[in-house]
Amino acid sequence: MHFKKPFVFSVMIVTILILMMSVSCSRSGGDAKKSAALEVTSTGFGHAKSMSDKYTCDDVDISPPLEWKNAPAGTKSFAIICETPDAPTGNWVQWVIYDIPAEVTSLPQSVAKTGQLDFGARQGKNDFDQVGYYGPCLPAGEHRFFFRVYALDGPTNLKEGAKKEELIEAVKGHILAEGALMGVYGRE
């Protein structure tokens, strides 16, 4: 059987495109469950805007109010990680909260700093080795803080006090969607 050059060339192009798509999918995690991004907002600050001192160690150091929407069908729980990549020692975790029931799509300001919350969620330990939210407390300069919200296909079943690494391991393959809100904290 004899093939013409245009046919062979077309087959080669299609093969290359398929390989490129599979490499791209594997680099992005290949999580077919992921869908549209969650929209994360706060009435305490806007995206890429300054956070009030009350959400930092310069004041009462309470958690900011958070809201999220656009969770996909099948969402059974949510998890949140707040961290900054701008700490002098590298990435620093401020807050770990998980097993937030699917019907809860917002958190009020000043979530209690306890492992088990009244509405069913659990909180883990941050890099201060404390349970709950402990806000920005960095040296001079401007620093970014990311509040990442994950929609999950089930509960994590982690005990209270879990660290970020344990949460990340527990949600692998279970993230349906995610979104983030970035706040900015600065000191002179």
Residue 34 has pLDDT above 90, yes or no: no
User: Who has greater pLDDT, 186 or 178?
Assistant: 178
Residue 22 parent element (H or E):
helix 5-27
pLDDT, tens digit, for every residue of 140-152?
889 999 999 999 9
Q: What is the mean pLDDT of residues 166-185?
A: 97
Q: Average per-residue pLDDT in the chain?
A: 86
Question: Phi and psi for 52 in degrees, rounded to 5?
Answer: -65, 150
Least Cα distance to 176 among 68, 69, 26, 72 occurs for 72
Q: What is the mean pLDDT of residues 85-96?
A: 94
Least Cα distance to 175 among 136, 148, 143, 147 occurs for 148
Q: How far apart are CA 166 and CA 161, in angstroms?
A: 10
Q: What is the mean pLDDT of residues 72-85?
A: 97
Residue 18 has pLDDT above 60, yes or no: no
User: What percentage of the chain exceeds 90 in pLDDT?
Assistant: 76
Calculate the dihedral angle through the C-alpha atoms of 106, 111, 113, 117, rounding to the nearest 10 degrees.
Answer: -60
pTM of the complete model: 0.81
Confidence at residue 35, expressed as pLDDT on a 0 to 100 scale: 53
Least Cα distance to 170 among 186, 153, 148, 182 occurs for 153
Domain 33-187: give its CATH superfamily: PEBP-like (3.90.280.10)
Among the residue ranges 29-33, 35-39, 155-159, the one predicted with the least confidence is: 29-33
Apex CA 69: angle with CA 63 and CA 71, to 5°? Answer: 115
For residues 77-113, b (16+ Cβ closer than 10 Å) or e, as one string? bbbbbbbbebbeeeebbbbbbbbbeeeebebeeebee
Apex CA 154: angle with CA 25 and CA 146, to 5°? Answer: 65
